[in-house]
């Protein structure tokens, strides 16, 4: 949730600078990071989802498409969030099996200045998704719901926007079949910012997932309802900029040289000829634009921007308060979960049953290395969670304890992290070098990894958590002294 306060600040800032009517929409997969949640994560994930709902309401979003990730806690939970949200959840193809009527609104219309905009939501469909038998729900292919819906909106709207979490290829198919859809904002599995690309008559675009960027567009919508591929507006602006440069050079020459010498100066005469040519071209383009506008055939244009929501950016005060309150609720839920208030109490795990031995076992032979490690941030990783009151947050814990190395985990039950022994409550030796039980018994160097691979570090040092991380440099900073054994 950390980026949401920065996102809210940027939206408020952009709106304040532009002072124009605006829409705020999202392609979906908003509430949860994956389609399925383990039972241990469910309670905390729901609390986070409720906080996200409150924040999107505060940011004055208009609509969000229902994605499969949004259904990870169940359809009933999403209905509850829709009931308390100030924005509209949309899905034209998530329907009741009994009568094929949409469970959420299929579309909404919004007045944006003088433009009437229709917004449709579409949930990803791959033919493999099935709801429990007792749940009156199904997802239909887009071609079963879009034809009539798009036709109805086209008759009453100046512009149609589709919010879709289908794949890019599916969205291209949609753009080819429905020319009345002008913008497709997608939330696919693609993990990068995708600048608007024109397919048929639709612009398809996406921001990087997990809220790492904010995408915003400044749209100049015309009666033609057609996007200009090579906008004459841009061409005109370039020629005016070129003319400004030539006028500047002419004035400098006129200041430096006597007027009686300029008629014989070929450079000066060339500049005058270029100026006259550009003036003629600018007048032609301006008249062409005026003619297109008067006949309603001027192409629509846009400016697209991506704002990376980096750690150093300012926070929106009210949203940050919701973020902090949500994190505290999550931590308290984890505390109750670990103490047995909301589930059977968990006793501390016995080290004897684990492949991880804890740093103290390593210290018996590797004294110098252990003393060096104690001075690193890794040794205090769990303590930082305690200081931030997040030591029971199951979303944070995996990167602050010794419980995983490559494909080896203490348990598939995430709740186990709430009852680790103290010797594993830090980023210990085994996070970088692998489980040490076999090595401790054999003392064979082949049973341990000497240098952590980049993938080991990047499991936690992701760009959104540590934007300054550089494996080549940082791995050397935490490198232990060479072992003499």
SS3 207: coil
Question: Would you mind telling me the total number of residues written for the chain in this entry?
Answer: 485
Which is nearest to 177 in space by CA: 199, 156, 154?
199
Residue at token pair 């909106």: 153
Distance CA 379, CA 374 (A): 5
| Cα of 279 vs its chain's centroid, Å | 45
Residue 145 backbone dihedrals phi, psi, to 5 degrees: -120, -25
According to the model, what pLDDT value does residue 210 have? Answer: 73
CA proximity to 114, closest of 157, 149, 64, 162: 157
**pLDDT score for 403:** 94
Helix (H, G, I), strand (E, B) or coil at 343: coil
Instruction: Report pLDDT for 165.
Output: 93
- pLDDT-flagged residues of the chain (< 50): 230, 344-345
Distance CA 144, CA 106 (A): 13
Contact 101, 95 (CB under 8 A): yes
* pLDDT value at residue 231: 54
Give every CB contact of residue 452 below 8 A, 6+ residues apart in sequence.
431, 432, 433, 475
Instruction: Quote the pLDDT of residue 346.
Output: 54
To the nearest 5 percent, what fractions of the chain are helix, strand and coil? 45, 15, 40
- Tell how far CA 27 is from the center of its chain: 10
Instruction: Give just the sign of the alpha carbon dihedral 466, 469, 474, 477.
Output: negative
Contact 310, 7 (CB under 8 A): no
Q: Is the dihedral of CA 141, 143, 149, 154 positive or negative?
A: positive
Q: Tokens at residue 65, please?
A: 């498409």
Residue 345 has what pLDDT? 47
pLDDT of residue 63: 98
The C-alpha atoms of residue 433 and residue 436 are separated, in whole angstroms, by 8
pTM metric for this prediction: 0.81
Token digits for 215? 């995408």
Alpha-helical runs (H) found in 266-350: 266-295, 317-339
């Amino acid at each position: 949730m950390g980026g949401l306060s920065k996102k809210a600040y940027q939206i408020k800032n952009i709106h304040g600078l532009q002072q124009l009517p605006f829409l705020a929409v999202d392609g979906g997969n908003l509430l949860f990071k994956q389609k399925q949640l383990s039972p241990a994560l469910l309670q905390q994930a729901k609390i986070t989802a409720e906080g996200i709902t409150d924040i999107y309401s505060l940011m004055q979003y208009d609509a969000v498409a229902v994605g499969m990730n949004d259904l990870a806690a169940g359809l009933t939970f999403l209905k509850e969030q829709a009931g308390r949200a100030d924005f509209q959840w949309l899905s034209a193809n998530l329907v009741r099996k009994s009568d094929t009527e949409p469970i959420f609104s299929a579309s909404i219309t919004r007045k944006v200045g003088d433009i009437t905009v229709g917004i449709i939501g579409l949930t990803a469909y791959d033919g493999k998704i099935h709801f429990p038998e007792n749940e009156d729900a199904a997802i239909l292919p887009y071609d079963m719901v879009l034809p009539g819906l798009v036709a109805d909106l086209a008759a009453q709207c100046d512009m149609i926007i589709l919010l879709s979490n289908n794949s890019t290829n599916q969205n291209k198919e949609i753009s080819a079949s429905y020319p009345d859809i002008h913008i497709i904002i997608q939330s696919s599995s693609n993990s990068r910012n995708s600048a608007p690309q024109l397919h048929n008559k639709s612009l398809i675009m996406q921001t990087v997932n997990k809220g790492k960027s904010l995408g915003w567009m400044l749209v100049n919508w015309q009666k033609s309802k057609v996007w200009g591929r090579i906008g004459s507006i841009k061409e005109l602006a370039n020629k005016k900029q070129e003319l400004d440069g030539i006028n500047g050079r002419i004035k400098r020459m006129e200041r430096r040289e006597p007027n009686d010498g300029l008629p014989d100066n070929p450079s000066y005469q060339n500049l005058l000829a270029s100026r006259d040519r550009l003036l003629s071209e600018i007048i032609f383009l301006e008249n062409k634009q005026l003619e297109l506008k008067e006949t309603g055939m001027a192409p629509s244009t846009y400016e697209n921007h991506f704002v990376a929501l980096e750690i150093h950016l300012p926070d929106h005060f009210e949203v940050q308060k919701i973020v902090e309150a949500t994190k505290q609720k999550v931590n308290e839920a984890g505390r109750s979960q670990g103490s047995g208030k909301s589930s059977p109490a968990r006793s501390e795990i016995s080290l004897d049953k684990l492949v991880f031995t804890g740093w103290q076992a390593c210290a018996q032979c590797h004294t110098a290395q252990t003393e060096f490690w104690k001075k690193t941030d890794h040794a205090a990783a769990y303590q930082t969670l305690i200081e931030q009151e997040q030591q029971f947050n199951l979303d944070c814990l995996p990167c602050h304890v010794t419980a995983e190395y490559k494909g080896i985990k203490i348990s598939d039950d995430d709740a186990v992290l709430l009852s680790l022994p103290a010797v594993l409550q830090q980023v210990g030796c085994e996070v970088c070098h692998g489980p040490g039980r076999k090595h401790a018994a054999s003392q064979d160097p082949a049973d341990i990894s000497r240098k952590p691979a980049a993938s080991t570090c990047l499991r936690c040092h992701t760009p959104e958590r540590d934007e300054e991380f550089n494996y080549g440099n940082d791995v050397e900073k935490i490198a232990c002294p060479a072992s003499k054994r």
